[in-house]
Every structure is written in C-alpha cells, then in structure tokens.
Amino acid sequence: MKRFPRLEPTFWDGVVTVFVVLLALAALFGRGGGGASGSISAAVYADGEEIDRVELSSVETVEEREYSGEGYVLRVAFYPDGAQVLSADCPTQDCVRTGKVTRNGQSAVCLPARIVVRLEGGAVPDGAPDAVLG
Ligand SMILES: [Zn+2]
C-alpha cells in the first residue's frame, strides 16, 4: 500500500473553509442593518479629526449645522435617512455636487475645507427610498 498524498481533499477543504467564512461575513454585514437600521450616524471630520457626529435616527425632519475648515464654511443638512452639504464657499463645490449621501460608508468630501461628512454605523435598508421626490 503506497501512501499517495491526495491534494484534492485538502484543496476542497480550503475552498469550503473560505466559502464558509465569506458566507459568515456576508451574513454579518447583511444583518448589520436588520437589527439596527436606525443606528446610522453621520460623522463630520475636519482635517481627519472627528468634530461632530449626528445620530440620524434622532433627526426628525432636517437639522442644519455649519462647519468651517481652512477658511471655508459648509452648511450641512442632516436627515433621518442621510446627510447633504447644502452649500459651501469652497471653489470646487464638489461637496455640494455630491448631493445627499444615504448609505453607510458614503461620504461627501470637501477637499479645500478638508471636511468629510461620512455615514457610519448600521446600514440603511435597501427598501428605503433614497429621496422623496415631489
Ligand atoms: Zn467643498
């Protein structure tokens, strides 16, 4: 009886392991919004430092705040389902053009002011409307 090293089972074990880990991760991330859909918050960073954080679930309709950085002033609106740079006196206006961010991980960045508004925390349910038109 010769012992022959069989690569196949090892290989497939590895694949299965990776697959299971991926599934577990997907389940973790997918479930993130299920139990805690209201826990998303908008963090405001200036020059890389967090200067403010708004719990979106605590916003009733809209809440406006002003932030300044590098001599520029941004007016940011927070909604129950997102955040948006309403106006800014920066030259590029990229932050304003970004519009409303509604999903976890999305951010509106103002490079000249070095200000970032980023959504963090629970995921917004996919069924929720991004914007109410009309
Ligand atoms: Zn800007």
Beta-carbon-side half-sphere exposure of residue 82 (alpha carbons within 13 Å): 20
pLDDT grade for 53, boundaries at 50, 70 and 90: very high
Looking at the predicted structure, is the pLDDT value of residue 38 above 80? Answer: no
Instruction: Output the CA 112–ligand 1 centroid distance in Å.
Output: 6
pLDDT grade for 35, boundaries at 50, 70 and 90: very low
Instruction: Name the residue with higher pLDDT: 8 or 44.
Output: 44
Instruction: Output the CA 103–ligand 1 centroid distance in Å.
Output: 20
Strand, helix or coil for residue 126: coil
Closest CA to 53 of 123, 122, 119: 119
Instruction: Output the CA 107–ligand 1 centroid distance in Å.
Output: 12
* Token pair for 67: 């932030």
Indicate the pTM of the whole model: 0.64
How high does pLDDT run on average in the chain? 85
- What is 118-133 written as a DSSP string? EEESSPPPTTS-S---
Looking at the predicted structure, is the pLDDT value of residue 118 above 90? Answer: yes
Instruction: Output the CA 89–ligand 1 centroid distance in Å.
Output: 7
